[in-house]
């Protein structure tokens, strides 16, 4: 087994897997690559194997159509075709929400879809309207004459999501009502028969607020969460796959990560941790967009990752010992001993080391390594963490 030099710290690298198609055994595919890593001295106890959710869902053939969404919306909210349905705080995203909205609109082809946007951005920081235009419009229905206004154009993608969403609804035959308001209860003034809470991370709080006035209210998590093609996450974490097809988040992910962990332990004698990752949990400082459009960074993880990652404040201690006149060799030895000591969370030795869930940190790192383009590395191996 090749051992990394002592001067190498944490290391993460992508593993090229080739194409993953529906019906393939992902456990076997990933295991075969890990076996190669083991042969080449790249696999050790304590390593973390991260698998992107997209290939898990694809191998599971976990796809649904727009019509599947329409049918479930109609059934879950008991909506006749001429109903009024509310959509509160949707994500401004073609990839994440356009097909979901299309399905909602098809559930009420002779009714109305009332879309309530948060302003000036959605929950992820995607600009819905400029702050200046939001101030001018106030909390009211957006006039049709303003739909082409540049104030609605996303500064990065160049898409006018308000206009796009209106067109998606109209193309399905339903009437479209779109307005801006950060108060979830505002949807009630449009008298919807049912409401779909569409934000991701604050969905439960939003639903509880709306249910004060509209009892027939569900979240995206409650749609498409039963059946052969489904996910326990419902429509959360879904992505556009084709023009009229969605890829859902993986289902039964916990079983997969535990099976892979056990197979590697039994066949190779190596104790790994395994997780399935989605979007990383970080905010782009340039655009202000919060990357995490999935309900969480890790859809599933083995038990060793279910803890908080903490540590000592290395630079604080180095400065402290230097101010005390310690030599470089003495400082190195003191730092080595400090890593083995237990400090309280309020101690100066840990000041500034924000505790974070280990699985969230690892999933975010894996997402950065693999990216969302054409790297072709849907599996990431992390060492030394």
Does residue 374 surpass a pLDDT of 70?
no
Of 61-70, 118-127, 183-192, where does mean pLDDT reach its minimum?
Answer: 118-127
Backbone angles phi, psi at 254, to 5 degrees: -60, -40
For residue 209, give Cα distances in angstroms to 92, 193, 197, 217: 22, 16, 10, 10
18 and 157 both lie in a single domain = no
Give me the pLDDT at residue 327, please: 78
The tokens for 66 are: 């727009």
Residues 234 and 95 in one domain: yes
Separation CA 298–CA 72 (nearest Å): 26
- CB burial of residue 369 (10 Å; 0-12, 13-18, 19+): middle
- The single residue listed with the structure tokens 């097809």 is 245
pLDDT at 132: 85
| Any domain includes 58 | yes
Give residue 346's pLDDT band: very low, low, confident or very high (50, 70, 90): very low
Place of tokens 């979007």: 279
Residue 262: inside a domain: yes
Query: Whole-angstrom Cα distance, residue 291 to residue 27?
Result: 28
| Region of poorest pLDDT, from 55-59, 80-84, 307-311 | 307-311
Q: How far apart are CA 385 and CA 374, in angstroms?
A: 26
Residue ending a domain, among 228, 247, 266, is 247
What is the tens place of the pLDDT at every residue in 172-229? Answer: 999 999 999 999 999 999 999 999 999 999 999 999 999 999 999 999 999 999 988 9
Residues 241 and 339 in one domain: no
pLDDT confidence of residue 344:
43
In a domain, 5, yes or no: no
Which is it for strands 48-52 and 273-277: parallel, antiparallel or unpaired? parallel
Residues 153, 301, single domain; the answer is no
**Pair 143, 166 in one domain:** yes
Q: Could you tell me how many helices (H) and strands (E) the chain has, helices first?
A: 11, 15
Which pLDDT does position 311 carry in this prediction?
A: 55
Long-range contacts of residues 44-47, Cβ cutoff 8 Å, at least 24 apart: 44/1, 44/270, 44/383, 45/270, 45/271, 45/272, 46/271, 46/272, 46/273, 46/383, 47/270, 47/272, 47/273, 47/381, 47/382, 47/383
267 preceded by a cis bond (ω within 30 of 0):
no
* Beta-bridge partner residues of 217: 195
Of 247, 266, 291, which one is at a domain's C-terminal end?
247
* Residue 56 sits in the same domain as residue 69: no
How much is the average pLDDT of 38-63? 95
What pLDDT does 30 receive?
97
Does 98 map to a domain?
yes
- One domain for residues 80 and 131: yes
Q: Are residues 144 and 212 located together in one domain of the fold? A: yes
CB count within 10 Å of CB 118 equals 21
pLDDT category of residue 137 using cuts at 50, 70 and 90 = confident
- How many structural domains does the chain have? 3
Query: Is 3 within a domain?
Result: no
CATH of the domain at 150: 3.40.50
Instruction: Say how many C-beta atoms besides its own lie within 10 A of residue 331's C-beta.
Output: 17
> What is the spatial distance between Cα 209 and Cα 202, in angstroms, rounded to a whole number?
11
Name the residue with tokens 């973390």.
48
What is the mean pLDDT of the segment spanning 273-287? 91
Indicate the range of 73-87, 134-148, 251-265 predicted with least confidence. 134-148
pTM, two decimal places: 0.86
By the 8 A CB rule, do 222 and 207 touch? no
Q: Do 199 and 216 belong together in one domain? A: yes
Alpha helices by DSSP H, listed for 140-237, are 161-171, 203-210
Residue 4 within any structural domain of the chain: no
Q: pLDDT digit string (tens) for 107-117?
A: 999 999 999 99
Tell me, yes or no, whether 186 and 276 share the same domain. no
Confidence band (pLDDT; 50, 70, 90) for 354? low
Residue position matching structure tokens 């190669």: 36
Based on the fold, state whether residues 92 and 196 are members of the same structural domain.
Answer: yes
Task: In whole angstroms, give the CA distance from residue 119 to residue 186.
Answer: 13
Q: How confident is the model at residue 350 (pLDDT cuts 50, 70, 90)?
A: very low
CA distances from 184 to 60, 197, 206, 217, 218 (A): 36, 9, 6, 12, 13
- Residue 6 covered by a domain: no
Is pLDDT of 355 > 50? yes
Is residue 161 domain-resident?
yes
Domain that includes residue 21, residue range: 11-62+250-309+357-383
**Mean pLDDT lowest among 253-257, 294-298, 323-327:** 323-327
| Rg of the chain over all Cα atoms, to the nearest angstrom | 24
Q: Can you list the pairs that 22-26 forms with residues at least 24 positions away whose Cβ atoms lie under 8 Å?
A: 22/58, 22/59, 22/60, 22/61, 22/63, 23/59, 23/61, 24/59, 25/59, 26/51, 26/55, 26/56, 26/59, 26/256
Q: What is the 8-class DSSP label of residue 96?
A: I
Whether residue 85 sits in one domain with residue 47: no
Chain segment 301-337, per-residue pLDDT in tens: 999 998 776 555 667 667 777 777 777 777 777 767 7
């Amino acid at each position: 087994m090749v051992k990394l030099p002592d001067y190498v710290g944490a290391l993460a690298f992508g593993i090229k897997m080739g194409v993953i198609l529906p019906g393939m055994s992902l456990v076997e595919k990933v295991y075969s690559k890990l076996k190669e890593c083991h042969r080449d001295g790249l696999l050790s106890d304590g390593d973390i194997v991260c698998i992107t959710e997209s290939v898990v869902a694809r191998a599971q053939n976990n796809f649904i159509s727009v019509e599947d969404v329409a049918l479930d919306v109609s059934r879950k909210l008991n909506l006749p075709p001429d109903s009024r349905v509310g959509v509160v705080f949707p994500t401004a995203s073609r990839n994440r929400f356009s097909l979901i909205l299309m399905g909602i609109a098809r559930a009420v082809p002779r009714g109305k879809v009332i879309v309530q946007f948060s302003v000036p951005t959605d929950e992820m920081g995607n600009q819905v309207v400029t702050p200046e235009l939001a101030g001018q419009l106030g909390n009211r229905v957006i006039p049709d004459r303003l739909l082409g206004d540049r104030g609605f154009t996303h500064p990065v993608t160049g898409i006018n999501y308000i206009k796009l969403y209106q067109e998606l609804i109209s193309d399905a035959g339903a009437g479209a009502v779109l307005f801006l308001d950060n108060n979830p209860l505002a949807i009630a003034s449009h008298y919807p028969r049912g409401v779909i809470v569409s934000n991701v991370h604050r969905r439960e709080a939003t639903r509880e607020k709306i249910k004060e006035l509209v009892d027939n209210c569900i979240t995206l998590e409650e749609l498409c969460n039963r059946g052969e093609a489904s996910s326990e996450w419902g429509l959360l974490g879904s992505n556009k796959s084709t023009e009229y097809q969605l890829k859902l988040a993986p289902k039964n992910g916990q079983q997969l990560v535990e099976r892979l962990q056990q197979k590697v332990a039994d066949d190779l004698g190596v104790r790994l941790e395994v997780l399935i990752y989605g979007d990383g949990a970080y905010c782009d400082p340039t655009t202000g967009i919060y990357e995490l459009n999935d309900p969480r960074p890790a859809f599933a993880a083995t038990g060793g990752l279910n803890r908080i990652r903490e540590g000592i404040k290395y630079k604080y201690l180095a400065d402290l010992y230097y101010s005390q006149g310690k030599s470089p060799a003495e400082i190195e030895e003191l730092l080595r001993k400090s890593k083995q000591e237990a400090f309280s969370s309020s101690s100066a030795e840990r000041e500034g080391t924000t505790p974070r869930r280990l699985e969230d940190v690892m999933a975010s790192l894996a997402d950065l390594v693999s990216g969302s383009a054409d790297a072709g590395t849907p599996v990431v191996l992390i060492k030394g963490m």
